């Protein structure tokens, strides 16, 4: 009985204590502390992330490009790519952002959707634009007659980029481009037709029959540099003009011509073109002077036509010197000077010159070739006399200088003096 009463009393004390504690908490007192037990709130995540954007073209960094980052709440951040092509941002907001890459080097602005807190580095390869130059019609082996060649130029670019297509084509070739010279998107294509005139010759290549290399390139408003260059197409001539001729550059003094002043002459003779190929001449080959230029320490002079009389004066037959005779030329040009007879045979003036000769037919063939030589001077050929009165061509001599002996009462006088530079020249092209 006593033991049961004791157990009841212990249980009653425990329950009373527990009830007292709960009531005390509700009232703000008791051993569990004042007031209600409030849970600690969870802290808000506020990141501060370094976000980098790399702009490059196949591994080459692009500097100075302005970048904008715009959040969905219109927060805008700005950066510019450095020497490594990287623009940096401080991002503290979750979600998607719009990355605006502003225009550069004629590229249009581009927008990319990014999530900076998911991936803190973003690289954009703009690639390197390319031009593809393809033959459509015509032949790149150029004949004597006029011809036309048509090409297409296709533009390849990863992003829209407005550029003007230009062509590196030699002077003398006409070009027609359609529909326009401007491209911007990948796959844009333009067509160019080049018209090559008859007997076109504008040698820019390294080969014997190579006219030139032609190519397309872009040149936009942002730069005058050739920023993109196409593949190269080579034009070659399919004909060869092979001309061989005897070229003479001559000085001549005659007491009874040109007021007794020295004159320069140049001409070619014994012209042979039989080793030419694919000329298909129409009618007879014609030859005329386009230019004759002399140069020396005394004077420089040019004439642009030849003589109608293409024979040297008759007195230039020197019977005393194996019947040497200039004779007649296919073409002959003359330049008068105001110099005396000594210029006809002294070489300390270094006189020389060149002759530009036009060869043409009745239809398509029409070219110019230049003849010159650095060969030394010939002997001096002259007619002379010993006289007290009038000058005659009584005697002739050929040697290295002009000097003769006369009697005491006679005077040595030259009637004419000549010498020449000579070379048999072959020009093949």
Q: Using one digit for the tens of pLDDT, what is the confidence trace for 181-213? A: 999 999 999 999 999 999 988 766 555 556 788
**Neighbouring residues of 119: CB distance < 8 A, sequence distance ≥ 6:** none
CA–CA separation, 261 and 255 (whole Å): 8
What is the pLDDT averaged over residues 48-76?
Answer: 94
pLDDT digits (tens, 9 = 90+) for 102-158: 999 889 999 999 999 889 999 999 999 999 999 999 999 999 999 999 999 999 999
| Percentage of residues in the chain having pLDDT higher than 90 | 69
**What is the CB neighbour count within 10 angstroms for residue 28?**
10
Report the pLDDT value the prediction gives residue 94, as an integer from 0 to 100. 86
Confidence at 346, pLDDT banded by 50, 70, 90: confident
d(CA 294, CA 300): 6
Residue 45, pLDDT score: 55
358, 290 in Cβ contact below 8 A?
Answer: yes
236-280, pLDDT tens digit by residue? 889 999 999 999 999 999 999 999 999 999 999 999 999 999 999
Res. 21: pLDDT tops 60: no
Q: What is the CATH number of domain 130-237?
A: 2.60.40.10
Answer yes or no: are the C-beta atoms of 239 and 278 closer than 8 Å: yes
Q: For position 357, what pLDDT does the model report?
A: 98
Residues of the chain with CATH 2.60.40.10: 49-125, 130-237
The strand pair at 366-371 and 352-360 is best described as: antiparallel
Among 214, 205, 160, CA closest to 187: 160
Give φ, ψ of 34 to 5 degrees. -75, 145
- Residue showing tokens 């048509």: 150
Which of these ranges, 12-16, 147-151, 298-302, 422-426, has the smallest mean pLDDT? 12-16
Which CATH number is 49-125's, of 3.20.20.80, 2.60.40.10, 3.60.15.10, 1.10.287.10?
A: 2.60.40.10
User: What is the C-alpha end-to-end distance of the chain, expressed in Å?
Assistant: 143
């Amino acid at each position: 009985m006593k033991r049961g009463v004791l157990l009841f009393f212990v249980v009653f004390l425990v329950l009373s204590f527990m009830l007292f504690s709960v009531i005390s908490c509700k009232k703000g007192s008791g051993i569990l502390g004042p007031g209600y037990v409030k849970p600690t709130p969870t802290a808000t995540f506020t990141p501060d992330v370094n976000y980098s954007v790399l702009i490059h073209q196949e591994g080459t960094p692009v500097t100075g490009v302005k970048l904008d980052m715009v959040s969905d709440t219109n927060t805008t951040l700005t950066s510019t790519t450095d020497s490594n092509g990287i623009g940096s941002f401080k991002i503290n907001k979750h979600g998607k952002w719009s990355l605006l890459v502003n225009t550069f080097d004629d590229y249009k602005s581009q927008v990319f959707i990014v999530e900076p807190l998911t991936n803190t580095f973003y690289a954009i390869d703009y690639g390197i634009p390319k031009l593809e130059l393809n033959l459509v019609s015509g032949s790149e082996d150029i004949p004597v007659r006029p011809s036309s060649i048509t090409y297409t130029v296709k533009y390849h670019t990863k992003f829209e980029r407005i550029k003007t297509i230009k062509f590196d084509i030699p002077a003398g070739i006409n070009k027609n481009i359609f529909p326009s010279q401007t491209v911007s998107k990948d796959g844009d294509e333009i067509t160019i037709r080049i018209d090559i005139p008859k007997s076109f010759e504008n040698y820019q290549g390294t080969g014997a029959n190579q006219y030139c290399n032609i190519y397309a390139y872009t040149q936009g408003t942002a730069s005058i540099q050739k920023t993109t260059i196409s593949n190269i197409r080579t034009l070659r001539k399919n004909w060869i003009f092979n001309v061989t001729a005897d070229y003479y550059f001559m000085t001549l003094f005659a007491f009874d011509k040109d007021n007794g002043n020295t004159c320069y002459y140049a001409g070619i003779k014994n012209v042979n073109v039989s080793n030419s190929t694919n000329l298909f001449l129409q009618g007879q080959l014609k030859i005329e002077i386009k230019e004759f230029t002399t140069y020396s320490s005394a004077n420089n002079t040019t004439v642009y036509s030849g003589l109608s009389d293409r024979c040297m004066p008759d007195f230039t037959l020197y019977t005393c010197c194996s019947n040497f005779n200039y004779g007649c030329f296919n073409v002959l040009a003359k330049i008068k000077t105001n110099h005396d007879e000594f210029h006809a045979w002294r070489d300390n003036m270094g006189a020389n010159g060149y002759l530009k000769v036009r060869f043409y037919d009745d239809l398509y063939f029409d070219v110019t070739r230049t003849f010159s030589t650095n060969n030394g001077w010939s002997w001096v050929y002259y007619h002379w006399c010993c006289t007290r009165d009038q000058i005659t061509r009584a005697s002739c001599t050929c040697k290295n200088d002009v000097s003769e002996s006369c009697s005491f009462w006679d005077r040595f006088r030259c009637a004419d003096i000549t010498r020449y530079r000579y070379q048999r020249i072959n020009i093949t092209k």
